[in-house]
Amino acid sequence: MDERQLRVLRELGELGSVTAVAEALRVTPSAISQQLRLLQRSIPVPLTERAGRRLVLTAAGQALADAAIGVETALARARHTIDEYVDEPDGTVSVAAFHSGAAAFYPLLLRRLDAPGSPRLALHDEDVAQAGFPPLTRTYDLVVAHRLDHAPPWPRTAVATPLLREPLDIALPVGHPLATRSVLTAQDVADQPWITVHDGFPLLATVEAVSAAAGRRLDIVHRVNEISVVAEVVAAGGGVALMPRWTSRPHPGVTLRPLGGIEAHRHVDVLHRPERTARRAVRTVLSELVEAAETIRCRGPA
C-alpha cells in the first residue's frame, strides 16, 4: 500500500462514491478504481463491497481508512520537518579541502560566516589524489578540490563550481642565483634538486612536464605533500619546488618565480552532489566560497 491508495480509501469512506472521489481528487473514476484494486491486492480481507450501485467500505476498509488519517498526519509532519531542514539558514554544513586550499579558504569562510544565523561550519582536511576527491562528496556537503589544466575533468556524478585557475610558480630559496630572473624556463631548473608530491597527486604531472620540456630526468630528492613543509625545505636549501601562487602562505626564506614555456596552472573547484544544494545553508556556504576565491585572486600571493 502507499499514500495515494490510502488517501483514495479515506475519501471513499467520507464521500460515499467512486465518482465523488474522482471529482474531489480531479482524476478519472477509472484511476480511482485502479488505486483501490492495487490496495486490495496487499490486504488479505475485503476493503469494499457493493451496496446497490454504490461501492462502500467494509468494516476492515473503514478501519484502514481511519488509520490512513494517522498516516497522512505523520507524512505531513515529516514533510514539514524536511521543509524546515531544507530552508534552515543556520544548519551545519560540512566542508572538506586539500591542505593549501583549507589554509587559504577556511579563515575567510569562518570570518564571513561568524554572524548570528549563519550556517554552522564543520571543517575537515583531506589530502588525497585527484581521483579521491569525487568520492568525498558522499561524506561531505562541499569538497574543495584541485586538478591540473590538462588533467581529466571531474566526473559527471559531482557538480563542479570553479573557484580559481591558479598559476604554479617555481619556489626558490631567497638569494638563489635563479631568483634574479623574472621568468624561469624548464632548462633553468632542470639541474636543480627537486621537492615534489607523492605519486598520484595533481602537482606531479607539471613536474613531469618540466622534465619533458627540459629533455632530461629531474633529480627528485624529497617527496612532501604539505605546502607549508615544502616551503620550509626550500628555504633550508633542500631544492626547488612548484608552489601555488595565491593559496600558499608567504615564507620569508622563499622566492616565487613564474615558469615560462609550460602550462603550469591548477583548477581549484568545489565539488558536491546535486542534492546537497537543496539545502539553503549549503547554498550559502557555496556562495561564500566563490566570494572568498575572488578575494584570494585579487590580493595576489597569500
Can you name the CATH fold of 92-299? D-Maltodextrin-Binding Protein; domain 2 (3.40.190)
Q: Cell numbers at residue 235, please?
A: 628555504
For domain 3-86, the question of CATH label 1.10.10.10 is answered with yes
Sign of CA dihedral 41, 44, 47, 52: positive
Q: Is the pTM of this model over 0.85?
A: no
Report the C-alpha dihedral over residues 11, 13, 16, 19, rounded to 10 degrees: 30
Nearest Cα neighbor of 101 from 153, 166, 160 is 166
Query: pLDDT in tens for each of the 302 residues of the chain?
Result: 788 899 899 889 888 889 999 998 899 999 999 999 999 998 999 999 988 888 889 999 999 988 988 888 887 777 777 777 778 888 899 999 999 999 999 999 999 999 999 999 999 999 898 889 999 999 999 999 999 887 889 998 889 999 999 999 999 999 999 999 999 999 999 999 999 988 878 788 888 889 999 999 999 999 998 899 999 999 999 999 999 999 988 999 999 999 998 888 999 999 999 989 988 899 999 999 999 999 999 876 54
Is beta strand 219-223 parallel, antiparallel or unpaired with respect to 193-196?
Answer: parallel
Structural domain boundaries in the chain = 3-86, 92-299
